Structure 1
Amino acid sequence: MHILSNHFRSQKGSAIIFFTFCMTVVLGMCALVIDFGITVHEKVSISKAVDAAALAGAQELIFDKDNAVAVANSYLEANGVDPLDAEIEIFDSDTKIRVTVNSEVDYYFAKILGFDSGIVNATGVAMCGPVIGVYEGVRPFAIEKQTLEFGVEYILKEGGGGGHNGNYGALALSGNGASTYVNNIIDGYDGRLRVGDYVETEPGNMSGPTQQGVNTLISRCNHTPECTFSDYHSKCPRIITVIMVDNLQVNGRSNVRIEGFARFFLEEVTGHGNESIVTGRFLNTVMSGELGDIQDDFGLKGVKLIQ
């Protein structure tokens, strides 16, 4: 009887030891799973912050490269990342920016296994470069390629007597005729255009349609104070994209090659009869579009993540 009792006590003791061991393993696994989830969540959050900082810094490279690091740091801080955990590098002739963050993540349950914290790292690289493809919104005006200076007023469409062989800078982007031309001035061409493509000129002065379209577009700016080329709202309808072409000295309706794109602040349309002249001031700006390398840079830049 004593032998049987001792056997039961031995079995009970073994079961308690086995149960304790199993609970330790289960709790350890739960701790690892929970803290792993916390680490993954932190990794995703930091990656988003790093990407946003890199894009913001790349955009600033276009205007003030010396301020790009400060802008990137401000985006990190706004997204809950300590700038002291970041390393920011500008490279490749000041056209790219790399933001790297190494952040310590405190563990909660894994501490019972002797793990207090872990390191989460993320890197984002963004670049700025000339826009070689525009997806939408191009206005039906073309000027011959040239060196452009910020704030200088340029003629976007000539008046009577100022064109070449019946062409005054108007384009037929999605079909011929006054109605299509006016709609493209007001709303922009809704197709994709790229450097190297050919577009068709719209011969004739198109004076009435030009005045109608340009005045309608200008009237859509309802910002207070009124926008100017040096102080404007980023979404102002008077900020327009036009096409830079190789040559406008062509006869009648002809195809001209796209050399690039430029943005202007639409100033006004002047003149009467066949003397409708459209002017705008050149801007250095950023917009969405396809980036690439081109021989001539006309000041229109874009940014994108490359890592």
Structure 2
Amino acid sequence: MLQVIKRIVKEEQGNTLFFGAISLMVILFIAGLALDGSLLYMKKSQLQKEANAAVLSGAQELTTTEQKVTGTVQTILNAHKDTTAMSKLDIKMGEKVALTLTKPVNLTFARLFGIEKVNVKARAASGLNAIGKSIGAAPLGIDESISLQYYKEYKLKVDSSDSISGNFGVLALGGPGAKTYEQNLRDGYQSEIRINDIINTETGNIAGKTRDVINQRVNGCSQPPGDYSLRQCSRIILVLVYKPYNYTSGQMKQIQVTGFAYFYITTPMSTNDTSITGVFIKRAGEGTYVEGAKDRGAYSIRLTE
């Protein structure tokens, strides 16, 4: 009887050692998987951020040239030291840019099973949408009924008369007065404007104030006239697209914002000028998409994938 008891005890001790060893192996296996899994997750998250940054930057050039889009995307990847990660780049000018990145990741635990590395992938796409709200607009507007032809010369009237092609309004952003108007024309109105906002118009002739600021803007841009690609050019102003809202006593009292447009000032104003000469351009800039905004070439950028 005593021998039977001793044999059972010995078998239980052996079983305990065996199952203990198995349990330790399972724990080590799970820990190894967690280690490699965490590494892969971290690398994929990092790659996704790089892809997002690249397409958001590249989308700024979707209104210029495909070469500029590609160059901007590559510049962002170079900054992250991932020059070889780009495996696919799709560009549809005027619409979107999509990027796929692939990068090999060296594993640690999986090497025990013959798996030395795994490729992680990240995909991102960014597109253009008409700006529906923005900060920095100039106190000028264009009636939405006027058909725009991009890169064709227009004259924005800044006195109390109308232009031949329609009413180009001078707007009282943030309040009336020549001083407020001048500051907004120079620096852009620093409060948000969005579609459907009702804006008062500025009355009277303020051509003199306009000349000073416009000529400063023309002289402040280093790029050659006619090159619209420079991101920071003081010749470019954001103007409001509107529809008449309150027209009484032969005068436009208020307008309703329906969209935004970019205007490039082509020439300085002379002492006799009562209008700003320039062209409307397509451009991606600061702003946010709002459903219902009129597409007049001023675009916001957002991730679509």
TM-score, normalising length from structure 1? 0.75
Which residue of the partner structure matches residue 193 of structure 2? 193
Offset from partner CA, 1:81-126 (integer Å, 9 cap, x none):
6356x344457x9723433345443311232255444443332222
Question: Which residue pairs with 1:35 in the alignment?
Answer: 36
Q: Distance in 2 between matches of 1:61 and 1:238?
A: 20
Cα pair 1:168 1:203 within 8 Å, conserved: no
Deviation at 1:171, TM superposition (A): 0.9
Query: What is the total number of aligned residue pairs between the two structures?
Result: 294
> For residues 93-242 of structure 1, what are the structure 2 equivalents within 5 Å?
95-113=95-113, 115-131=115-131, 133-144=132-143, 145-150=146-151, 152-159=152-159, 169-218=169-218, 221=220, 225=222, 228-230=225-227, 233-242=230-239
Match of 1:58 in 2: 59
Could you tell me how far apart the structure 2 residues matched to 1:191 and 1:248 are?
Answer: 21
Find the residue that maps to 2:255 and give its secondary structure: strand
Match of 2:241 among 214, 239, 244: 244
Gap change, CA 1:218 and 1:88, over 3 Å in 2: closer
Unaligned runs of 5+ in 1: none
SS at match of 1:268: coil
* 1:200-247 Cα shifts (integer Å, max 9, x gaps): 21111123332344345456x2x6x45534166422333211123335
Distance 1:56-1:217 versus aligned 2 partners, 3 A rule: closer
Counterparts in 2 of 1:227 and 1:304: CA distance versus 1, 3 Å = same
Contact 1:46 1:81 in 2 (8 A): no
CA distance in 1, matches of 2:177, 2:94: 45
Partner of 1:284: 282
User: How far apart, in 2, do the equivalents of 1:226 and 1:64 lie?
Assistant: 17
- Contact 2:236/2:263, CA 8 A, preserved across alignment: yes
Closer/same/farther in 2, CA of residues 65 and 108 from structure 1, 3 Å limit: same
**RMSD over aligned Cα, in angstroms?**
3.9
Q: CA deviation at 1:293?
A: 6.2
Which residue does the alignment assign to 1:82? Answer: 84
Alpha-carbon shift at residue 35 of structure 1 (Å): 1.4
Of 119-128 and 70-79, the range deviating more from structure 2:
70-79
Residue ranges of structure 2 left out of the alignment (5+ in a row): none
Q: Quote the Cα distance in structure 1 between the aligned partners of 2:256 and 2:7.
A: 99
- Shift in Å at residue 69 of structure 1? 6.1
What is the rounded CA distance, in whole Å, between the counterparts of 1:244 and 1:54 in structure 2?
28
Percent of aligned positions that are identical: 25
> Contact 1:160/1:276 (CA < 8 Å) preserved in 2?
no
Task: Give the deviation of 1:12 after TM superposition.
Answer: 8.6
Partner letter of residue 146 of structure 1?
A: S
